[in-house]
Chains A and B, each alone.
Chain A
């Protein structure tokens, strides 16, 4: 620019310098404010949030929970690394690949996996997985991060599978036809149209699975080793860990009410709630986003489509997987597996679609088989060792020597009482709420708030319900440990599941049916009662059954509120404590060092009870469906 002479240049430069100086001062003040605030908050929390030393019974006591948070996240990450691929593959198998007859086999298997109580998983983890790891890896104790992650992964599988299967199943069949008619292989259709179309549901599945893993208490308590330390080095999967939930489960029973330690435990529960809150809000936001606009805005699109970004994501994912695998299986196999994945990722555009289809389906079959095998191993172990313990005496006798011998009749009855009470309380509320959400409400601030509240309740770890029940019913209302408190806690715990599944079932009833009925002059309630509810009944039933099964096997919500270790007589008053199967198994496993047939016998009865509930459910669902489609 020739018209700009030297003086002008200088002037411009000077102006620029002056501007920068003011900017710097402005920045300094902003940084100062941030620093002061940050320092105050850090100092305030450093004893709690950023302190890695959890030792409430030491002198002086220390209440740092950083190690607990990190352990929780590590255990969850480990669980997801293998449950997400396995779960997604199985969901794809069930919804798209399986012939109808196989689907009828695999689906109940998944439901069964979901129905196995967490305390049984913990028991299996202690007895079988723990000692296997101990021998195979030659470590002092099998209770470690790896064991906890494996068990939690198995426990998260049914959630991931069933939620993503529902999402996949809901994708219109039109997409499949449209894609196939373009001469595209079925696998390409699944991976490029159907799975992306179900992305919101699938990510919800993963996040719910994650919530399941973070919120689990009993199994983790039994197999994670429970040392409140950060693994050293951080990828040492053989290190014992202690999660937030386990801390609550272990210490809540031993702590003096209203002591500093007591409040610290509620602090732990608050952090746990905040984490699950964060998870749930993320998933909520994610799903909303995907529902409203299925396409990303241009800027994000370019970002996700850029080659560099993809490579970066692949690299990060690769590093995490290699870490985990090399710790579990050894360096060599980790490298081989990673190389295979990398070869697939970068070579996939060159391999023929036919080959891609064959190998992908092969992997999917293998994953599904693995899931079935896991269930088979668990059931085989429990039943092979437990069935000999079952006798008439065992089932109908009363406990002797504080439950170490004798029968478990009172525990069986107690469990049934707890579950019956819970479902009676929760079913009318849950179905009513779901009807309101789907049939009556228009989207407004109130319903949105209610819906978010419900989602948050759903993500709340079961131990928190127990904690709440303990603080409110047992201590504040001064009911003491009693059956009613346990029933209410269980009812709260399964309420969101019932609402959610009922809502899903109601939504899956096509609107045309409602319109047809309304068009004939039926009122809204008539339409709901005669048309919508009958069509949705199988779905509602499934939800209710899964909830009952879950309630029957839950330990965490009842262990501070309703149960005692041993009780000779059946409870007849709701304000008396009960004996329950899952807690009985937990107490036996953690207090009696030698594994006895008493353990296995209790586990068998517990599983058999749950299976019986499930079978009843599956049959009645089939019955309903037949009636509906005839």
Chain B
């Protein structure tokens, strides 16, 4: 078992309000890890620490360390870091550009201007995101014309185009209908062959369907982290049991 990324003694404050309490957590490589827990438990906050998106909030203060490739990312350059750790958001957020330009945006920004290579990257990313067949004839149409589910797969493809190691997903299906959701879930399961995926979800069945590992968070603390099977069938903590059986949350 190889750790892809791990957090040690992570504390996070928004102004004076503490959102994460001494979090220790380890995510395994090439596995899908789900973070579950009631609203406001800090799972999205934790996720957004891993590629330092929280720093966009001016009042946010973080202490502790997050190790990625045995380096503390809190002291590293966030721009370089985010090339390695991509993110998919709750709301599909394609740029108001063409489908092609959306995918090619990241590679271009990182200095790739060769049209042939870009074409290959775009095609491969769209294929990996199971979107190629639906859009290959209209790559230069606006991405905003796609359906919600297609937009979200486009955003995944856009993340893949930068070839990250880890993909963070912040409730990627919560704005989608069941059919689009199931497509994305299949896609996520396929992704683990090449990528480490960490997914925040509200949806318990989704966690059981897609994830190998599940972490349960409550009030800014990681209560329990284990194989998904174990968490949902035989959790060690009472609190976890109560949550997954729907007694609160």
- Asked if B95 and A177 sit within 8 Å, CB to CB, the answer is no
- Asked if B140 and A295 sit within 8 Å, CB to CB, the answer is yes
Chain B CB within 8 A of A68 CB: no
- How distant is A2 from chain B, measured CB to nearest CB, in Å? 41
How far apart are the CA atoms of A180 and B106 in the complex, in Å? Answer: 10
- Asked if A181 and B87 sit within 8 Å, CB to CB, the answer is yes
User: For A192, what are the chain B residues with a Cβ–Cβ distance below 8 Å?
Assistant: 105, 109
User: For B84, what are the chain A residues with a Cβ–Cβ distance below 8 Å?
Assistant: 183
Query: Closest residue to B110 on the A side, CB-wise?
Result: A183
Stretch of B19-27, B36-44, B128-136, B154-162 at the chain-chain interface: B154-162
Query: Closest residue to A349 on the B side, CB-wise?
Result: B113
- Asked if B97 and A178 sit within 8 Å, CB to CB, the answer is no
- Asked if A294 and B142 sit within 8 Å, CB to CB, the answer is yes
- How distant is A174 from chain B, measured CB to nearest CB, in Å? 4
Q: Do A294 and B109 contact each other (CB < 8 Å), given the known contacts A181-B51, A182-B82, A184-B79?
A: no
Chain A CB within 8 A of B246 CB: no
Query: Closest residue to A182 on the B side, CB-wise?
Result: B106
User: For B159, what are the chain A residues with a Cβ–Cβ distance below 8 Å?
Assistant: 181-182
User: For B89, what are the chain A residues with a Cβ–Cβ distance below 8 Å?
Assistant: 174, 177-178, 181
Q: Do A197 and B96 contact each other (CB < 8 Å), given the known contacts A183-B83, A183-B162, A295-B142?
A: yes
Q: Do A294 and B144 contact each other (CB < 8 Å), given the known contacts A174-B93, A177-B89?
A: yes
- How distant is B68 from chain A, measured CB to nearest CB, in Å? 13
Q: Interface of chain A, helix or strand or loop or mixed? A: helix
Number of contacting residues on A, CB 8 A? 28
- Asked if A181 and B105 sit within 8 Å, CB to CB, the answer is no
Residue from A176, A183, A185, A349 with most neighbouring chain B CB atoms (10 Å): A183
Binary interface profile of B, 214-244, with partner A (CB < 8 Å = 1, else 0)? Answer: 0000000000000000000000000000000
Chain B CB within 8 A of A353 CB: yes
- How distant is A457 from chain B, measured CB to nearest CB, in Å? 30
- How distant is A337 from chain B, measured CB to nearest CB, in Å? 27
How far apart are the CA atoms of A183 and B111 in the complex, in Å? Answer: 12
- Asked if A179 and B95 sit within 8 Å, CB to CB, the answer is yes
Contact of B106 among A176, A184, A196, A298 (CB under 8 A): A184
User: For A176, what are the chain B residues with a Cβ–Cβ distance below 8 Å?
Assistant: 56
Chain A CB within 8 A of B182 CB: no
- Asked if B56 and A294 sit within 8 Å, CB to CB, the answer is no
User: For B110, what are the chain A residues with a Cβ–Cβ distance below 8 Å?
Assistant: 183-184, 353
Within 8 A of B (CB), among A117-156: none
Contact of B105 among A172, A177, A193, A301 (CB under 8 A): A193
User: For B58, what are the chain A residues with a Cβ–Cβ distance below 8 Å?
Assistant: 99-100
Chain B CB within 8 A of A293 CB: yes
- Asked if B140 and A178 sit within 8 Å, CB to CB, the answer is no
Chain B CB within 8 A of A507 CB: no
- Asked if A182 and B93 sit within 8 Å, CB to CB, the answer is no
Q: Do A184 and B86 contact each other (CB < 8 Å), given the known contacts A175-B93, A193-B95, A196-B97?
A: no
How far apart are the CA atoms of A185 and B164 in the complex, in Å? Answer: 16
Q: Do A177 and B109 contact each other (CB < 8 Å), given the known contacts A182-B83, A182-B159?
A: no
Chain A CB within 8 A of B80 CB: yes
User: For B86, what are the chain A residues with a Cβ–Cβ distance below 8 Å?
Assistant: 181-183
Within 8 A of A (CB), among B136-165: 140-142, 144, 155, 158-159, 162, 164
Chain A CB within 8 A of B81 CB: yes
How far apart are the CA atoms of A179 and B106 in the complex, in Å? Answer: 8
- Asked if A182 and B158 sit within 8 Å, CB to CB, the answer is yes
- How distant is B199 from chain A, measured CB to nearest CB, in Å? 15
How far apart are the CA atoms of A295 and B141 in the complex, in Å? Answer: 7
Binary interface profile of A, 429-464, with partner B (CB < 8 Å = 1, else 0)? Answer: 000000000000000000000000000000000000
- Asked if B155 and A178 sit within 8 Å, CB to CB, the answer is yes
- Asked if B142 and A185 sit within 8 Å, CB to CB, the answer is no
How far apart are the CA atoms of A175 and B97 in the complex, in Å? Answer: 11
Contact of B96 among A182, A294, A298 (CB under 8 A): A294
User: For B83, what are the chain A residues with a Cβ–Cβ distance below 8 Å?
Assistant: 182-183
Residue from A180, A181, A349 with most neighbouring chain B CB atoms (10 Å): A181
- How distant is B102 from chain A, measured CB to nearest CB, in Å? 9
- Asked if A295 and B81 sit within 8 Å, CB to CB, the answer is no
Chain A CB within 8 A of B91 CB: yes
- Asked if A178 and B113 sit within 8 Å, CB to CB, the answer is no
Chain B CB within 8 A of A188 CB: yes
Chain A CB within 8 A of B124 CB: no
- Asked if A182 and B105 sit within 8 Å, CB to CB, the answer is yes
- How distant is A213 from chain B, measured CB to nearest CB, in Å? 30
- How distant is B52 from chain A, measured CB to nearest CB, in Å? 9
- How distant is B126 from chain A, measured CB to nearest CB, in Å? 16
Residue from A172, A178, A184, A185 with most neighbouring chain B CB atoms (10 Å): A178
How far apart are the CA atoms of A184 and B144 in the complex, in Å? Answer: 21
How far apart are the CA atoms of A354 and B109 in the complex, in Å? Answer: 11
- How distant is B146 from chain A, measured CB to nearest CB, in Å? 12
Contact of B82 among A183, A193, A298, A354 (CB under 8 A): A183
User: For A184, what are the chain B residues with a Cβ–Cβ distance below 8 Å?
Assistant: 79, 82, 105-106, 109-110
- How distant is B108 from chain A, measured CB to nearest CB, in Å? 8
- How distant is A567 from chain B, measured CB to nearest CB, in Å? 55
User: For B144, what are the chain A residues with a Cβ–Cβ distance below 8 Å?
Assistant: 294
Q: Do A174 and B56 contact each other (CB < 8 Å), given the known contacts A295-B97, A295-B141?
A: no
- Asked if A183 and B53 sit within 8 Å, CB to CB, the answer is no
- How distant is A235 from chain B, measured CB to nearest CB, in Å? 36
Query: Closest residue to B93 on the A side, CB-wise?
Result: A174
- Asked if A180 and B80 sit within 8 Å, CB to CB, the answer is no
User: For A301, what are the chain B residues with a Cβ–Cβ distance below 8 Å?
Assistant: 140
- How distant is B55 from chain A, measured CB to nearest CB, in Å? 10
Within 8 A of A (CB), among B66-85: 79-84
- What are the 10 tightest A-B residue pairs by CB atom distance, in nearest-first order? A183-B83, A174-B93, A183-B82, A181-B87, A182-B106, A184-B109, A294-B96, A178-B93, A295-B142, A197-B96
Other than the given A177-B87, A183-B164, A197-B96, 10 more pairs (CB < 8 A) read: A100-B58, A172-B93, A175-B93, A178-B158, A179-B95, A179-B105, A183-B80, A183-B162, A193-B95, A353-B110
Tell me the B residues contacting A by CB distance below 8 Å: 51, 53, 56, 58, 79-84, 86-87, 89, 91, 93-98, 105-106, 109-111, 113, 140-142, 144, 155, 158-159, 162, 164
Q: List 25 A-B contacts (CB under 8 A).
A: A100-B58, A175-B95, A175-B96, A178-B155, A178-B158, A179-B105, A180-B53, A180-B82, A181-B51, A181-B53, A181-B82, A182-B86, A182-B105, A182-B109, A182-B158, A182-B159, A184-B79, A188-B109, A197-B96, A294-B96, A295-B97, A295-B142, A353-B79, A353-B109, A354-B79
